């Protein structure tokens, strides 16, 4: 009888197991493991599969039929485009606010913040592609508002996504303008504030409202969508440099 009960249990759990396919903006990647782990504490039979990339490229994939259930974007524009085209089943919402930081694997005096980028010793500055990555767009806005764009423009090296900027700054450029959340990557978590990184003043760019779009009626997807908007998820995201 015991084995019959066990067999019934395993059949029941397998029938109720589900999968959620989430397109994730690169800047959120460092928080995803903890978010999924916490979600699975209450939804142990749901498998969350993630695909990382720039918000623009992920949105293009969705327009071309990629079978994602959720988009976690780096801004609101892409989820809103999906909603306008009736690819999102409800109006997108903000799940977090991102912020910018200057990072270098080398040691510098970074206390002057964004003004540091005009230093003549800095010849290559990696940023995310402003055409497809919201953090790249915010970087250009910050440079212009600080009246540094023309001076820094010849130094700019464009990376496909914000996570690629980290790789550039570690290997190929003097510095990179990254998402502050990237500082929680295992690759760079040991680097020091004001020596290897400094936050860019938030008044230099429009708040980076990161949007979530629900793309399917899959119940498991709705469960994960609701979780990302919960206080539990917001507290986790705060740990990774996001503002609420």
* DSSP codes joined into one string, the chain: -HHHHHHHHHHHHHHH-EEEEEEEEGGGHHHHHHHHHHHHHH-TTEEEEEEEE-HHHHHHHHHTT---SEEE-SSSHHHHHHHHTT-SSS--EEEEEE-EEEE-SS----TTGGGGGG-TT---EEEE-TTT-HHHHHHHHHHHHTT-HHHHGGGEEEESSHHHHHHHHHHTSSEEEEEGGGGGSTTTTT--BTTTEEEPPGGGS--EEEEEEE----HHHHHHHHHHTSHHHHHHHHHTT-B-
Q: Does one domain contain both 191 and 232? A: no
pLDDT 10s digits, 164-180: 999 999 999 999 999 99
Asked if residue 181 is part of any domain, the answer here is yes
Q: Does one domain contain both 48 and 14? A: yes
Q: Does one domain contain both 190 and 114? A: yes
Total structural domains within the chain: 2
Q: Does one domain contain both 142 and 157? A: yes
Q: Does one domain contain both 117 and 192? A: yes
Tell me what pLDDT residue 17 has. Answer: 56
Asked if residue 154 is part of any domain, the answer here is yes
Q: Does one domain contain both 198 and 213? A: no
Stretches in the chain below the pLDDT threshold 70: 1-17
Its pTM stands at 0.81
Q: Does one domain contain both 200 and 217? A: no
Tell me what pLDDT residue 23 has. Answer: 98
Q: Does one domain contain both 57 and 113? A: no
pLDDT 10s digits, 223-241: 999 999 999 999 999 999 9
Q: Does one domain contain both 90 and 8? A: yes
Q: Does one domain contain both 198 and 218? A: no
Range of the domain at 85: 2-97+208-239
Asked if residue 160 is part of any domain, the answer here is yes
Asked if residue 244 is part of any domain, the answer here is no
Indicate which CATH number applies to the domain containing 196: 3.40.190.10
Q: Does one domain contain both 67 and 9? A: yes
Asked if residue 129 is part of any domain, the answer here is yes
Tell me what pLDDT residue 185 has. Answer: 84
Q: Does one domain contain both 134 and 199? A: yes
Tell me what pLDDT residue 2 has. Answer: 45
């Amino acid at each position: 009888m015991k084995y019959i009960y066990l067999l019934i249990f395993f059949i029941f759990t397998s029938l109720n197991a589900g999968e959620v396919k989430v397109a994730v903006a690169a800047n959120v990647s460092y928080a995803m493991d903890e978010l999924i782990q916490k979600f699975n504490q209450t939804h142990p039979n749901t498998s969350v599969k993630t695909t990382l990339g720039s918000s623009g490229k992920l949105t293009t994939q969705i327009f071309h039929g990629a079978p994602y259930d959720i988009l976690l974007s780096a801004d609101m524009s892409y989820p809103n485009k999906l909603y306008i085209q009736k690819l999102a089943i409800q109006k997108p919402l903000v799940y977090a606010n991102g912020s910018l930081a200057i990072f270098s694997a080398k040691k510098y005096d970074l206390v002057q913040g964004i003004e540091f980028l005009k230093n003549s010793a800095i010849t290559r500055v990696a940023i995310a592609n402003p055409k497809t990555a919201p953090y790249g767009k915010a970087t250009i806005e910050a440079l212009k508002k600080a009246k540094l764009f023309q001076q820094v423009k010849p130094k700019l090296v464009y990376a496909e996504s914000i996570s690629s900027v980290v790789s550039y700054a570690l290997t190929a450029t003097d510095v990179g303008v990254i998402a502050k959340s990237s500082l929680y990557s295992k690759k760079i978590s040991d680097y020091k504030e004001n020596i290897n990184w400094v936050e860019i003043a938030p008044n230099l760019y429009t708040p980076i409202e990161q949007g979530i779009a629900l793309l399917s009626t899959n119940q498991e997807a709705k469960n994960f969508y609701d979780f990302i908007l919960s206080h539990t998820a917001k507290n986790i995201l705060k740990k990774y440099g996001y503002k609420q």
